[in-house]
Amino acid sequence: MLNRIVLIGRLTRDPESRYTPQGVAVASFGLAVDRPTRNPETGEKQTDFINVVAWRKTAEFVTQYLTKGRLVSVDGRLQIRSWVAQDGTKRTAAEVVAESVQGLDKPRDAGDVYGGPPPAAGAVPAEAGAAPDLADIDQTDPFADE
């Protein structure tokens, strides 16, 4: 049997972090995932909103580094929970339990999409056109062990 889910989408809210009485980290967040097809009547994109729960180190990573709007990849499994609400009705919820979460984009600063403040009008960066200093480049072979 196999229960595996891989999703790519954007966080719909900042992750909510908490700890169990035993001290285990838990984070929950929403993920907006676009469907590959469009609504046949309107031509608009259709989006699914999926609840995700992360535990332990994955929860700590999510809470520390990810915020609303970030593009992420979630690898995990589907879990269906059932409980009886205070009013006596039986409730169920489907959620993804994340085994790993990866950020797929860079966080945006208050400046611009490139991560820094916008340049002054007409300004030319000092390093424009200059060759990089070879001392600043990592020249180790990443495949040397192969």
pLDDT digits (tens, 9 = 90+) for 97-146: 999 999 988 877 544 444 444 444 444 444 444 455 555 555 555 555 55
11 three-class SS: strand
What is d(CA 19, CA 142) in angstroms, rounded to the nearest whole number? 39
Q: Does domain 1-35+45-107 have CATH number 1.20.970.10?
A: no
Tell me the β-bridge partners of 97.
53, 77
**Stretch 1-16: mean pLDDT:** 94
pLDDT digits (tens, 9 = 90+) for 51-77: 999 999 999 999 999 999 999 999 999
Q: How many CA atoms lie within 13 A of 146 on its CB side?
A: 3
Q: Token pair of 84, please?
A: 């009886």
pLDDT digits (tens, 9 = 90+) for 12-36: 999 999 999 999 999 999 999 999 8
